[in-house]
């Protein structure tokens, strides 16, 4: 485990999540833990030529993706994960178990952001001390309730969040002084998910390639727009042959439909739908 942890910290940040969970099982491992370690070693052997590419795009913007998983450990504690990108690759990556139990996912997100605040502030101070001009220090999160509490502090607290310790609102003061800015990120673009939970398939490869610098880190998109209340979402309509679309009370415009008597008719765009079914009698 120590050798694998060394490789993770130096050149393979894509294995940080697996190592973070396996290091908690060093004292009392079982057969399942051994199977997971073997799976990790096979992955490292199969991707041993995958390089870590680091470069800066010169924009002067530090971008952090931070996320947290609620109650994923046996003692019901959360897990914090995230990293920094200057354009290509992640020079700073962290995936750690939280030190306290939380009562909601919002509280878990706040604790996760607080865990990263020392690194977020220090990185900006270090870059400025080296003579670089930092235009912004952006922190991406996918929980809007957590962002609201971090921006307003106790002013946005309710009966479900008033128990949160004031030391976890250190980020509120940093937002007011301009040291860091909070931006919402949809879950599909949250690279921090890679450091908090085991992903699979296309999403795993998408985030892995951005962390390793195979492709540049992408800015979050606007997310999926939700239909207005009472409005029919046409993207979810999948009408079958001879049937109305799911969720629709009438057939779509221009579609043929079959009446209860088995005679095919066609809706007219100029006429309003009638409550009576017209049937053409054939001899």
CA distance 258 to 279: 11
How far apart CA 92 and CA 123 sit, in angstroms, is: 10
Task: Give 224's DSSP letter.
Answer: P
Q: Is the pLDDT of residue 96 over 60?
A: yes
Confidence of residue 117 (pLDDT cuts 50, 70, 90): very high
Residue 245 has pLDDT above 80, yes or no: no
pLDDT at position 221, please? 78
**Helix, strand, or coil (residue 63):** strand
User: Domain spanning 52-212: which superfamily?
Assistant: Ribonuclease H-like superfamily/Ribonuclease H (3.30.420.10)
Q: Can you give the pLDDT at residue 251?
A: 42
Lowest mean pLDDT, pick from 4-13, 195-204, 225-234: 225-234
Please list the residue range(s) of the chain that carry CATH number 3.30.420.10: 52-212
Q: Inform me whether the pLDDT recorded for 227 exceeds 60.
A: no
* Helical packing angle, 144-152 and 105-129, nearest 10°: 60
Distance CA 68, CA 193 (A): 8
């Amino acid at each position: 485990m120590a050798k694998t942890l060394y490789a993770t910290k130096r050149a393979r940040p894509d294995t940080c999540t697996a190592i973070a969970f396996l290091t908690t099982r060093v004292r009392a491992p079982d057969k399942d833990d051994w199977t997971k370690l073997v799976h990790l070693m096979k992955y490292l052997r199969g991707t041993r030529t995958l390089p870590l590419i680091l470069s800066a795009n010169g924009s002067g913007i530090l971008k952090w993706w931070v996320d947290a998983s609620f109650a994923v450990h046996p003692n019901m504690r959360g897990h914090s994960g995230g990293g920094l990108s200057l354009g290509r690759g992640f020079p700073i990556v962290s995936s750690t178990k939280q030190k306290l139990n939380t009562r909601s996912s919002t509280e878990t997100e706040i604790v996760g952001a607080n865990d990263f605040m020392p690194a977020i502030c220090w990185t900006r101070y270090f870059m400025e001390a080296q003579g670089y001009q930092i235009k912004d220090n952006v922190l991406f999160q996918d929980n809007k309730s957590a962002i609201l509490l971090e921006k307003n502090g106790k002013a946005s607290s309710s009966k479900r969040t008033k128990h949160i310790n004031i030391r976890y609102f250190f980020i509120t003061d940093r937002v007011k002084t301009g040291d860091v800015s909070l931006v919402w990120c949809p879950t599909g673009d949250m690279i921090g998910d890679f450091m908090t939970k085991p992903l699979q398939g296309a999403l795993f490869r998408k985030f892995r390639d951005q962390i390793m610098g195979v492709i540049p880190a992408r800015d979050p998109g606007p997310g999926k727009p939700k239909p207005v209340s009472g409005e029919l979402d046409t993207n979810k309509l999948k009408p079958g042959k001879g049937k109305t679309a799911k969720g629709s009370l009438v057939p779509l415009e221009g579609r043929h439909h079959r009446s209860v008597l088995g005679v095919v008719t066609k809706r007219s765009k100029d006429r309003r739908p009638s409550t009576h079914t017209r049937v053409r009698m054939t001899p």
